Chains A and B, each alone.
Chain A
């Protein structure tokens, strides 16, 4: 498994079949030596912390993510203020499609990290993924940060998947071709409701 260099990235972007798609790349300079810079999209998911006590798999808590979070959309050119200590979900402006012989890692940009902006993504992106990438953005610095849709916010680093995955990202996936940040779907986990106590069977109640 090796990281793709600029030349190999360009080759992957120009293949006839099994192409790597990153669209739209507004400038060619987004392709770096071993990564592609991606821009911030204009949709965000923020917490409605004034509306709930806690979130988690407990019957005392709110268990439906949409009750504790809400989608915010701003226009390109407008500001999104990220205050210290706040976590939001954003997304890339670019829509990406990863071929079955590549996997991808989302990393923050060091220039932003020096101001306290952390770009964390749950895991690497699997071969076969299609969609915009949800970014967990957090300001761990002490000054509020102004984010504008369209700024370069993160970078994608590609590695070869050896051997290629035969049926990549298929089947009943939680997220299919998203074009904005996606709400958490923890409640889709088969054991979520059982553990949270919402669907306790009679048998369990006896114990």
Chain B
């Protein structure tokens, strides 16, 4: 059976991640989040907590079965996207796995609290928001390829076109 319901759900997930990616970029430019944006950002935060086994958030078991199932479906795409954009993490000065995982936890928390830092978390820097937006964009695109199966490479907004960090900026963040 070609279950269009499942495909539609993945389309929905891809769209939400894409929208969250757009909102992350808008927030960093100082734009106010509207109600639609709030909804999509918190959904993405919750969803990524569920997807990423490294996030180690105790409350994550509280999500509904539907979201947990969707997370199981998207999880390999999530990890492969992470591995694919590894050079970008290096460029951003994150040299160890621990640093990357810390950044991810911080990203999810910021998404949940609509771009503001949550309790015990730091606010994302400009380039970190951009990097987070790129990751969401990558996962969103990979889901599209997953549902299409044809895997034609798409023209993607490259990090270089969007955001050219200076080495100094990274150094500041990492230190």
Report if A and B touch in the complex (beta carbons < 8 A). Answer: no
